[in-house]
Amino acid sequence: MLSQQQNRNSIPDYISFRGIILASGNFISYHLSMKVIIFLLFLFSAAYLSGIETDQSLTEWNQTRLGIQKNGMIVLGTWAAANITVSAVQLKKTRGQTRYFYQMNLFWNIINLGIASAGFVSSLTGSPALNPDETANQYRNLTKILLINAGLDIGYMGIGVFLIQRGKISEKRPERLSGYGYSLLLQGAFLFIFDTALAIINNSSLQDFLTS
């Protein structure tokens, strides 16, 4: 009798775990190619920086600075566009927790796409005609913003974990809490890696500029 009760109690956990695996598996499979593109874009940025000549002109340094911002926005925009496309398709095919997972991905990356678009335009219209102090300050400001964002990203992941745990005990639409939670966990993790990597690349360029 006790064994039967234990088996019944284990069934919801198994179903929940299986749903998580299915949701994550679908998302990862659709985004594998996008991850490769993102990785290559970061490599391109790193290779570009490593080839910078330290005796380049001040204008060229500012062009480099704006180029880092532009490449970063291309990476963020690519991630956002991929999420929007995949999520829009999957919303029509999925139900329950998985559907809420894609729903939050869609909402979240509409905002990401807007940020990436604004940042990309800013990188194209920014003036390279700055003096040395202004150039260094622009470098520092971007690094500061990225590090602040990285801290916020940790908060997003924390909220995701909270929603996942809440979904396990809530009686009111637990699948929505869990789906949103796993989405925030994924998006927060990507943004943390993105913001941290871009901050490192930008700060590395700043150090090269200061020592040139």
Give me the number of domains the chain comprises. 1
Query: So what's the pLDDT on residue 22?
Result: 45
Residue 94 pLDDT more than 80? yes
3-state secondary structure the chain: CHHHHHHHHHHHHHHHHHHHHHHHHHHHHHHHHHHHHHHHHHHHHHHHHHCCCCCCCHHHHHHHHHHHHHHHHHHHHHHHHHHHHHHHHHHCCCCHHHHHHHHHHHHHHHHHHHHHHHHHHHHHHCCCCCCHHHHHHHHHHHHHHHHHHHHHHHHHHHHHHHHHHHHHHCCCCHHHHHHHHHHHHHHHHHHHHHHHHHHHHHHHHHHHHHHC
The yes-or-no verdict on residue 1 having pLDDT over 60 is no
Q: pLDDT digits over 125-178, tens only?
A: 998 889 999 999 999 999 999 999 999 999 999 999 999 999 999 888 899 999
Tens digit of each residue's pLDDT (9 = 90 or more) over 18-59: 444 444 444 454 455 455 556 656 655 554 554 454 456 889
What letters, b where the CB count within 10 A reaches 16 and e where it falls short, cover 141-175? ebbeebeebbeebeebbeebeebbeebeeeeeebb
pLDDT at residue number 171: 84
* Domain span at 56: 2-211
Q: State the chain's mean pLDDT as an integer.
A: 82
pTM comes to 0.78
